[in-house]
Amino acid sequence: MPQHDTPAPSLRKDPAPAGTDPGHPPPGGDAPPSLSALDHRPADRELLTARLVPLRHPGQWVSAAALLVLLAMAGHTLVANKRFQWGIVGDYFLSHDILHGLELTLWLTAAVMTSGYLLGIAVAAMRLSGNPVLRAVSFGYVWLIRSVPPLVQLLFWFELASLYPRLSVGVPFGPEFVHFRTAHLFSGVLAAYVGLTLDVAAFSSEIVRGGILAVDPGQREAAKALGLGEARIFRRIVLPQAMPAIVPASGNLLIGMLKATSIVSVIAVEDLLYSAQLIYNQNFLIIPLLLVATVWYIILTTVLSIGQFYVERHYARGSRRGGRARSGPSARGFWQLTRANLPLFGRTRTDLAGLS
């Protein structure tokens, strides 16, 4: 009996219309979004071309506005308050006595800083030496000078005759060769010079020592391996790397010493402040004469600050501290390496594969 093959029912179904779910077709209305649309992520190109929205800082604007208002009020009171007597300030600003005091202030500052730094370098060398006696003496000197206020030091040197009326030079515990009395030896200018020089030497020695210690010891060892001498190593290797750390602190010390010379007025040294005091003791114009000295100090410190800025920039050449970004292959390599390691810029990895 012949058998007829019955075709099996086909399990294939007609494809569902576009935009419908085959399992649960909606009877009507809008079709739900597909899974690919829900999983859509922006590409790198879209992220790169996206507009950046800056952060808003309302607090900064409010504080800046308040500060500007306060500055405007301060400027207004300086101009509008007639008790400042700016006309008298202008009359005495270039007077002979004021310029004479200004000259002495500048001379004292330059002399004290020069001699103080030379002595400070010697003290720093003693502190860094391998001799325990030199290290102990330098440490004791720095400790003592930094512990006594500069004004007290000036008074001690000015009153040296009260402690040592007579000084002599000769063999210790033996005969004297030369002797002299100290009553008229230490004048006010000499006492100010000696006292401030010793004070600057203590602080400058620590500045120099800190700058030298900031240099990596491996630099000195590498220079020794090349056969360089100690003097040349210090001059060509250590000192150029120590100067960026020494210059800012030295500039601050210079500006501070310029202002600290005003304390010599207590021992009747005719500096800028004492000259102003002599004038207002005669005409009783205290505020205008104090403003004359103040304006001169502001001008001098501003000039020194500008000079310090250029000196710092000179010794910071070739580094980021110089204030200018580097250019050239090294800078481009840095940014390319940074972009290659950011997940957002993953495409650049294949472009930079040959740079490693």
> In this model, does residue 246 exceed pLDDT 70?
yes
Per residue in 56-107, pLDDT (tens digit) is 778 888 899 999 999 999 999 888 888 888 899 999 999 999 999 999 999 9
* pLDDT of the residue at 203: 94
In 3D space, the residue among 239, 16, 258, 9 whose CA is nearest the CA of residue 113 turns out to be: 258
Residue 186's SS3 state is coil
Residue 319's pLDDT band, with cuts at 50, 70 and 90, is low
Q: Output 54 or 100, whichever has higher pLDDT.
A: 100
DSSP class of 52: P
- Does residue 141 have a pLDDT over 90? yes
Measure the CA angle with vertex 205, ends 200 and 206; round to 5°: 105
The pLDDT value recorded for residue 328 is 44
Q: For residues 142 and 122, what is the distance between their CA atoms, to the nearest angstrom?
A: 12
* pLDDT of the residue at 331: 42
Is the CB of residue 128 less than 8 Å from the CB of residue 142?
Answer: no
Better-predicted residue by pLDDT, 40 or 306: 306
Closest among 108, 63, 80, 82 to 200, alpha carbons compared = 108
Question: In degrees rounded to 5, what are phi and psi of residue 78?
Answer: -70, -35
What pLDDT is stored for residue 149 in this prediction? 92
pLDDT of 349 over the 60 cut: no
Q: Which helix (H) or strand (E) holds 138?
A: helix 132-147
Distances (CA, A) of 70 to 75, 188, 259, 284, 322: 9, 43, 27, 31, 34
Instruction: Write down the pLDDT at residue 318.
Output: 60
Per-residue confidence (pLDDT) for residue 165, from 0 to 100: 81
Alpha carbon distance 5, 244 (integer Å):
99
**Could you say which DSSP state residue 345 is in?**
G
Residue 2 has pLDDT above 60, yes or no: no
Quick check: 304 pLDDT over 70? yes
Q: pLDDT, tens digit, for every residue of 254-298? A: 999 999 999 998 988 889 999 999 999 998 899 999 999 999 999
Tokens of 101: 């005091």
- Which pLDDT does position 237 carry in this prediction? 85
The region of weakest confidence among 14-28, 109-123, 145-159, 221-235 is 14-28
Q: What is the mean pLDDT of the chain?
A: 79
pLDDT at 42: 67
Higher pLDDT, 353 or 151: 151
269 neighbors 159 (Cβ within 8 angstroms):
no
Higher pLDDT, 86 or 47: 86
Contact 178, 166 (CB under 8 A): no
- Return d(Cα 110, Cα 196) in angstroms, integer: 11
Give the number of other CB atoms < 10 A from CB of residue 153. 19
Per-residue confidence band for 34, with pLDDT thresholds at 50, 70 and 90: low
Per-residue pLDDT for 128 more than 50? yes
Q: Give mean pLDDT, residues 12-35.
A: 51
Residue 199 pLDDT grade (very low, low, confident, very high; cuts 50, 70, 90) = very high
Collect contacts of 215-219 with beta carbons under 8 A, ≥24 apart.
215/241, 215/242, 216/241
Residue among 215, 15, 188, 205 at smallest CA distance from 123: 205
Question: What are the φ/ψ torsions at residue 32 (nearest 5 degrees)?
Answer: -70, 155
pLDDT at 288: 92
Q: Report the pLDDT value the prediction gives residue 195, as an integer from 0 to 100.
A: 92
| Contact present, 152 and 199 (Cβ < 8 Å) | no
3-state secondary structure 274-310: HHHHHHHHHHCCHHHHHHHHHHHHHHHHHHHHHHHHH
For residue 223, what pLDDT is reported? 84
In 3D, which of 293, 116, 268, 135 has the Cα closest to residue 204? Answer: 116
The rounded distance, in Å, linking the Cα atoms of 301 and 260 is 12
